[in-house]
Amino acid sequence: MASILNVGQLAEGFVLDHIEAGKSMEIYKYLNLDKLDCTVAIIKNARSEKMGKKDILKIECPIDFIDLNVLGFIDHNITVNIVKDEKIVEKMTLTLPKEIRNIIKCKNPRCITSIEQELDHIFLLTDPEKEVYRCKYCEEKYNRKKNK
């Protein structure tokens, strides 16, 4: 599988491997890659011994351009390879982020986020074990496990 990744072609950036098949566009959106002027390769349904099928994202950009914390919320099984000078310099372990911003929306109709202009939807991790997040403003619960 390593030859499929073709990491050598990236001077600097990320290779996101072991993405659940079909989820790469979702991650593309969450990472706001459409707003970045950089080269992105999306590989869908690549063969995988471990997963059967998987997606891969290759992103060529300075490594401080993207906040990868959100990946921990989307799927912490994704493998993140950080590439510098055409070599993998680090494999990042993903954990649940303590705070997520504008990734999920508060569904409580009584929450201030439903009317206040340009207010970020912020959720805070309140129970890492049960993977529970709560809206910063109204404490509405979002259970990541149940919403997968």
Partner 1 sequence: MRHVMSPLDFSVGELDKLLDLASDIEKNPAKYAHACDGKVLATLFYEPSTRTRLSFESAMIHLGGQVLGFSNAASSSAAKGESVSDTIRMISCYADICAMRHPKEGAPMVATAVSSIPVINAGDGGHQHPTQTLTDLMTIRSLKGRLNHLTIGLCGDLKFGRTVHSLINALVRYEDISFVFISPDELRIPDYIREDVLDAKGISYQEVERLEDVIGGLDLLYMTRVQRERFFNEEDYVRLKDFYILDKKKMALANENMLVLHPLPRVNEISVEVDSDPRAAYFKQVQYGVYVRMALILTLLEVEV
Least distance to partner 1, CB of residue 52, Å: 37
Nearest residue (CB) to partner 1, 43 versus 124: 124
Cα–Cα distance, 15 to 107 (Å, whole number): 33
Residue 111 has a CB neighbour count (10 Å cut-off) of 19
Using CB under 8 A, which of the segments 21-29, 48-56, 77-85, 138-146 binds partner 1?
138-146
Smallest CA-to-CA distance from 16 within 98, 70, 125, 146 is with: 70
If one asks whether residue 139 binds partner 1 (CB under 8 A), the answer comes out as: yes
If one asks whether residue 137 binds partner 1 (CB under 8 A), the answer comes out as: yes
Name the residue with tokens 């997606």. Answer: 55
Q: Which of 7, 43, 104, 119 binds partner 1 (CB under 8 A)?
A: 119
